[in-house]
Chain A
Amino acid sequence: MAIVLDHVSYIYEKDTEMAAFALKDICLTIPDGQFIGLIGHTGSGKSTLVQHLNGLLAPTGGHIYYNGKDIHADGFDKKELRSRVGLVFQYPEHQLFEVDVFTDVCFGPKNLGLSRKETELRAFEALRQVGFPEEYFYQSPFDLSGGQKRRVAIAGVLAMKPDVLVLDEPTAGLDPKGRDEILDRIAALKAETGITVVLVSHSMEDIAKYVDRIIVMNRGSVLFDDVPAEVFRHDAELEAVGLAAPQMTYIMRTLRRRGMEVGTDVTTLEEAEREILRVLGK
């Protein structure tokens, strides 16, 4: 059930003087069951790329295949694709429009033609999964704090039970606990169901903690596509394109510079702890 991008390019406002490449000749395969991190400076094309995965944007050059079928060929069922490849937009307010939170989360499953009972069950479960407080279920989505809106938007997509879950900066604006809850929940969902996850994030720490492959975008092109340890070894190149290595990497470098014989190929808290304890002989 892989998604394949074959020489995909995209130009916004094509045929105008404003025309500029947002994506340039992207070739990628997203196989089943991977947890992929997509990182890049603001404006590097991440949001443009993810909107291609469910057919929301059509490439101005190249092709996209889902299960081997060209998603923009005549007769391809786009509606089905959109329910299989669930996209949580970067700005949650773009997705919320119903009178209350619960109705909003019901929108997706209802549109899939599910029974009312099944729809409501799914909405309820999805809101629970994202830790949304029950007392606000019947509140207008517009009267929520930023973080609360974000949770509702994610629940709306989870309620469709997609095969591929694409999250465009889902944790921006969430409190630290909320960030961990959502990402832990998604990691658990992935472990249970084998769902494919594409996570766009500016948190190198979250990326280091959760994903098994990182795609780095730079000005519309893919700069790196590799396992986290390899990608984060290129910290100078990452910094040059507006990114960074995870903080733990820099902390370990400082310790090393100060004379502690620790390895610096470290990206997470657990690794750092183990490495320091090793040197201390504990």
Chain B
Amino acid sequence: MGIIQTNKLVFEYIRRDEEGNAEGITRAVDEVDLDVKQGEFVAILGHNGSGKSTLAKHINAILYPTEGTVLVDGQDTREEAHVWEIRQKAGMVFQNPDNQIIGQVVEEDVGFGPENMGVPTKEIWERVEESLKAVGMYAFRKHSPNKLSGGQKQRVSIAGVIAMHPKCIILDEPTAMLDPNGRKEVIRVVRALNHVEEVTILLITHYMEEVIYADRVIVMDQGRAVMQGTPREIFSQVERLKSLRLDVPQVTMLAHSLQKKGVPLPDGILTAEELADALGYRKG
């Protein structure tokens, strides 16, 4: 069984007027079946308001299903006794690097999670060290977080999550506010955690380029998971993605436009190297 499983998950937000009376209902997640295997890297794409964040918040028990179930490592998120454990197993990283860091010193911030979990002091420090090394921020352990760049802050947030030894990390647009370099740093760290530590990754993003490393891509539309496949399978469907308000990586788009102009190229080219190959330019 997968580490994350949702069965016909439905979530409805109830909109209320000023007096608190129910005014209407938004079905933000609509019968989503998800089955993520331990160690898998899954990317989630979807237009604004398609339900990505709402889905993500179910996985670490911030929200609970209106209908259907969510199992994390076999545990039902609705069972109160599991909530604490589930939040430990599935850590979240959010968009805004400034809202997630609370400590005055980097290492202190990263230590908060394990400390709250009741991890013994000696082990806390071991975890802090190992987590900061994993994200390449160990040299900054004595720094004040508000002096760091956006990309560095996000890596500290990720270290804070790793220090809880989660099986799974959910990143909700972690690079949306970062400069190009910060974006690269964060994606590099995410991929390394997935490869080396075999942490399960759920990455929500609006940057198509970040998705090409995923094992699987899920596309959401109006609360539903409407497409699933490898990056190549998904990005071969340029027109379909555009109709879902999405895009493809720049090189894929370039190949697609060339194709339309009569250049014989396969669908779903994902890198410049692949484009060179397909155009007949041999390596070396």
Q: Which residues of A contact B (CB under 8 A)?
A: 40-43, 90-91, 99, 139-140, 143-148, 150-151, 169, 172-179, 202, 204-205, 239, 242-244, 247-248, 250-251, 254-255, 258-260, 269, 272-273, 276-277, 280, 282
Contacts and interface: CB of A to CB of B under 8 A. Distances in A.
Contacts of A143: 13, 15
Contacts of B176: 172-173
B182 interface: yes
28 contacts: A40-B179, A41-B181, A42-B177, A43-B149, A143-B13, A144-B49, A151-B48, A173-B48, A176-B208, A177-B47, A177-B247, A202-B177, A202-B178, A242-B151, A242-B180, A247-B250, A251-B250, A254-B276, A255-B279, A255-B281, A258-B281, A258-B283, A259-B282, A269-B254, A269-B257, A276-B279, A280-B279, A282-B263
B258 interface: yes
Nearest to A151: B48
B18 A176 contact: no
A177 B180 contact: no
A124 B83 CA distance: 44
Nearest to B262: A282
Interface in B145-167: 149-151
The 10 closest A-B pairs by CB, nearest first: A147-B48, A42-B150, A177-B245, A176-B247, A254-B272, A258-B276, A242-B181, A244-B180, A258-B281, A145-B49
Given A173-B95, A244-B181, A269-B253, A139 B276 contact: no
A272 B252 CA distance: 12
B242 interface: yes
B53 interface: yes
Given A42-B149, A254-B276, A273-B261, A175 B178 contact: no
A41 B251 contact: no
Given A175-B47, A178-B48, A242-B180, 15 more contacts: A41-B149, A41-B181, A41-B182, A43-B150, A99-B18, A140-B15, A145-B49, A176-B247, A177-B246, A202-B178, A247-B251, A255-B272, A276-B254, A277-B261, A280-B263
B250 A259 contact: no
Nearest to A245: B180
Interface in B45-99: 46-50, 53, 95-96
A243 B180 CA distance: 5
B273 interface: yes
Contacts of A258: 273, 276, 281-283
A43 B272 CA distance: 31
Given A175-B48, A202-B178, A258-B283, A251 B150 contact: no
Contacts of A42: 149-151, 177-179, 182
B206 interface: yes
B275 interface: yes
B273 A145 contact: no
Interface of B: 13, 15, 18, 46-50, 53, 95-96, 149-151, 173, 176-183, 206, 208-209, 242, 245-247, 250-251, 253-254, 257-258, 261-263, 272-273, 275-276, 279, 281-283
Contacts of B13: 143
A247 B276 contact: no
A41 B151 CA distance: 10
Nearest to A202: B179
Contacts of B282: 258-259
A151 B49 CA distance: 12
Nearest to A177: B245
Nearest to B283: A258
Contacts of B49: 144-145, 147-148
Contacts of A91: 96
A91, A176, A260, A273, most chain B CB atoms within 10 A: A176
A169 B151 CA distance: 16
A91 B96 CA distance: 9
A146 B95 contact: yes
B279 A146 contact: no
Nearest to B13: A143
A191 to B, nearest CB: 24
Contacts of B96: 91
Contacts of B209: 247
